[in-house]
């Protein structure tokens, strides 16, 4: 009886030890698999992230910059158009018989201008045009009162309107230096702006039953009706005579 009990006890302890060994073995296998899995995730996960980042950076580098493209396009347009524009301006300035530049304020599209030559060295540019007469309100028939021209009269004011029409110089920025006869019913006037940076000699005719109409405009280099200009010329002439 005692031998059977001892045998049973040894068998029971052996079975228990064997089961414990199996459990430990399984735990070791599971632990190893878990460690390998973590290592794999760590290694391959970093490689995937690095590859994704590299692909994104390459995509951004290869993608054209919209701002640079638009700037380049605008630059190309300017480089193509500017030479043509400059060439067009040069051709206009050098061309003969083309419409001359008009003073500021005289930009009517209905007026046809024609550049004409001048023998006066003081004339920078001269041109004629088909300006419409200034509608008159004076009593008709009208004769130019050379001996006593009232500057407050309607005819004088209409004459100034005709000059303003072709020069753009308003009453606030205009000096009338000289008005004289240029033949029957014709006058020539020299006017400038206040700073004398714009100097005009304007030829105006009285059109019967219509009013004052400008026939020619000359742009001058110097104001030859300014007393200072006259004095300087007299001194130069006197010096030439003495020499």
The answer as to whether 181 is a domain residue is: yes
Burial 7-27 (b: 16+ CB within 10 A, else e): eeeeeeeeeeeeeeeeeeeee
Domain with 184 in it: 113-242
> Rounded to an integer, what is the distance from CA 215 to the centroid of its chain?
35
Instruction: Give the helix/strand (H/E) hosting 78.
Output: helix 66-94
Q: How confident is the model at residue 146 (pLDDT cuts 50, 70, 90)?
A: confident
The answer as to whether 6 is a domain residue is: no
Residue-level pLDDT at 54: 62
State the average pLDDT over residues 64-93: 47
**β-strand 186-192 against 199-207: which pairing, if any?**
antiparallel
pLDDT in tens, 43-71: 766 555 556 666 666 666 665 554 444 44
pLDDT in tens, 211-243: 999 999 999 999 999 988 766 655 555 454 445
Nearest Cα neighbor of 116 from 133, 102, 99 is 99
The answer as to whether 184 is a domain residue is: yes
Return the percentage of the chain with pLDDT > 70, whole number: 59
Nearest Cα neighbor of 211 from 167, 243, 165, 179 is 165
The answer as to whether 236 is a domain residue is: yes
**β-strand 113-115 against 123-129: which pairing, if any?**
antiparallel
CA–CA separation, 110 and 131 (whole Å):
8
State residue 229 phi and psi, 5-degree precision: -65, -40
Q: Is the pLDDT of residue 23 over 90?
A: no
Instruction: Give the helix/strand (H/E) hosting 191.
Output: strand 186-192
The answer as to whether 189 is a domain residue is: yes
Count up the domains in the chain and report the number.
1
Helix/strand/coil for 219: strand
The answer as to whether 226 is a domain residue is: yes
The answer as to whether 186 is a domain residue is: yes
Report whether 115 contacts 100 (CB < 8 A).
yes
List the single range of 59-73, 98-112, 124-138 with lowest mean pLDDT.
59-73
The answer as to whether 171 is a domain residue is: yes
pTM (predicted TM-score): 0.55
């Amino acid at each position: 009886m005692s031998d059977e009990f001892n045998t049973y006890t040894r068998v029971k302890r052996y079975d228990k030890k064997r089961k414990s060994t199996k459990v430990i073995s399984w735990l070791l296998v599971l632990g190893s698999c878990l460690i390998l899995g973590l290592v794999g995730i760590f290694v391959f996960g970093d490689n995937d992230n690095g590859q994704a980042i590299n692909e994104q950076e390459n995509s951004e580098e290869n993608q054209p910059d919209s701002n640079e493209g638009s700037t380049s396009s605008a630059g190309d347009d300017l480089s193509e158009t500017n030479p043509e524009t400059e060439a067009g301006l040069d051709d206009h300035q050098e061309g003969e018989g083309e419409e001359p530049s008009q003073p500021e304020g005289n930009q009517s599209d209905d007026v046809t201008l024609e550049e004409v030559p001048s023998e006066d060295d003081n004339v920078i540019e001269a041109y004629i045009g088909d300006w419409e007469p200034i509608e008159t309100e004076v009593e008709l028939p009208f004769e130019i009162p050379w001996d006593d021209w009232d500057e407050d009269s309607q005819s004088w004011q209409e004459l100034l309107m005709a000059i303003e029409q072709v020069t753009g110089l308003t009453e606030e920025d205009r000096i009338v230096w000289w008005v004289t006869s240029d033949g029957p019913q014709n006058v020539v006037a020299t006017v400038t702006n206040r700073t004398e940076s714009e100097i005009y000699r304007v030829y105006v005719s009285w059109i019967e039953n219509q009013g004052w109409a400008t026939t020619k405009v000359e742009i001058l280099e110097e104001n030859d009706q300014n007393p200072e200009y006259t004095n300087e010329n007299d001194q130069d002439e006197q010096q030439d005579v003495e020499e």
